[in-house]
Chains A and B, each alone.
Chain A
Amino acid sequence: MAKEVILLDFWPSMYGMRTRIALREKGVDFEYRDENLREKSPLLLQMNPVHKKIPVLIHNGKPVCESAIQVQYIDEVWPHKNPILPSDPYQRAQARFWVDFIDKKMYEAQRKVYATKGEEQETGKKEFIEILKTLESELGDKPYFGGDDFGYVDIGLIGFYTWFPGYEKFGNFSIEAECPKLIAWAKRCMQRESVAKSLPDPEKVVEFMAMLRKKFGVE
């Protein structure tokens, strides 16, 4: 029998991790399918013809694409347990602003940190640290980005944490030295079952990043 919720994903994807966490926060039963990105499944191509990318959330046969959109969808369809976004429109806009910020800035900067070398890598490291410091400043002394409760921005960012050891190793720097409050926040999030179950072993992510570095000719 077809499962009501299927997630097409790729295990190291920090974006896929968002959707996994959101589903688990809501206690939604789902079927996880890991895609081979070099040989995308017919289902993936059919469900996301525009971008052909993971993650794709399939709910009762209908696809929802883009991780931030998926998390909002999940929050709206299963509203009763562990609300993810605030109900106030202004606070909601603020939460969405920060995930939008992460989506606009993080990818390119973090890619330069581990997948380039020389001057490009140094520039990437500076940009990356600046982005993390901006986020750390937004976090302030709160336990989570939204305040007392784990929510949308936490979900939007935490997936990158499994890539931190890799950034540190290949970028030759310490993120904790630069952003200690952010590391403390990440460890706090990791104590949550939905997060711990949804994030891969960082050592495996490091291996994956090493493989990518060879592929990009950086190793």
Chain B
Amino acid sequence: MTENEGKVKLLGCWASPFSRRVEMALKLKGIPYEYLEEALPNKSPLLLELNPIHKKVPVLVHNDKILPESHLILEYIDQTWSNNPILPQDPYEKSMARFWAKFIDEQILTVGFRSLVKAEKGREVAIEEAREKFAFLEKEVTGKDFFGGKTIGFVDMVAGSIIPFCLARLWEGMRIDVIPEDEFPELNRWIKTLKDIESVRECIPHREKQIEHMMKVSERYKLA
């Protein structure tokens, strides 16, 4: 059996951008996998066994190897299956990709979801603060087809799972437009192009279901 053969299982959730992005990578590389849906917020005994520290999806199981945390899973997949690479080879470019991925999952998620939902200083201020952060991404994708360059890569999967198919659905439910086309032409262009990519398209959660889900999640978060 070669290095990358063997069974791949993914523990995920249909609405989780973190597990969707892993599916994008698996599909892009043509890796067959068994998908196990977690009925969150209830956590199955399997999830608690596979990810005792964080108790979160996604978890990838490859033969006897167990991997939590989507960024780690994506890099592991890229190193184990070398076709259609998603990370650059150059150490500097790679460090930039890791930087943006971290920025997206920390800062963008905070301003695009948490701060917006809590809106401690009012909604308008929250939207303005979100736009300040999105401006960095707008700049980063300018002049490129994708964050990864000519083809989609690590940052596209991280940003692509979170922004258009998770956060944007929340914003739709809240009836706000955080990244209007006139202010963010490049990001909007990138989103449109992303939808043409088969491995991305297959990983977009159902729109109405997702809007309903995000509104429920935001209600829970507000009360927390």
- With A62-B92, A93-B67, A101-B53 in contact, is A69–B72 under 8 Å at CB? no
Contact B98–A89 (Cβ < 8 Å): no
Q: Mark A60-104, 1 if CB is under 8 A from B, else 0.
A: 001011100110110011000000000001101100110011000
Contact A50–B103 (Cβ < 8 Å): yes
B84 part of interface (Cβ distance < 8 Å): no
A134 part of interface (Cβ distance < 8 Å): yes
Nearest Cβ in chain B — how far from A58, in angstroms? Answer: 11
B68 part of interface (Cβ distance < 8 Å): yes
Interface residues on B, range: 20 to 34
B221 part of interface (Cβ distance < 8 Å): no
- Whose C-beta in chain B lies nearest to the C-beta of A87? B79
Contact A93–B76 (Cβ < 8 Å): yes
Name A's interface SS: helix
Contact B91–A89 (Cβ < 8 Å): no
- With A90-B65, A96-B72, A100-B72 in contact, is A69–B79 under 8 Å at CB? no
Residues of A within 8 A of B35 (CB): none
CB under 8 Å from chain A, chain B span 52-69: 53, 62, 65, 67-69
Residues of B within 8 A of A59 (CB): 92
List chain B positions with a Cβ less than 8 A from chain A.
53, 62, 65, 67-69, 71-73, 75-76, 79-80, 91-92, 94-95, 98-99, 102-103, 107, 136
List chain A positions with a Cβ less than 8 A from chain B.
50, 59, 62, 64-66, 69-70, 72-73, 76-77, 89-90, 92-93, 96-97, 100-101, 134
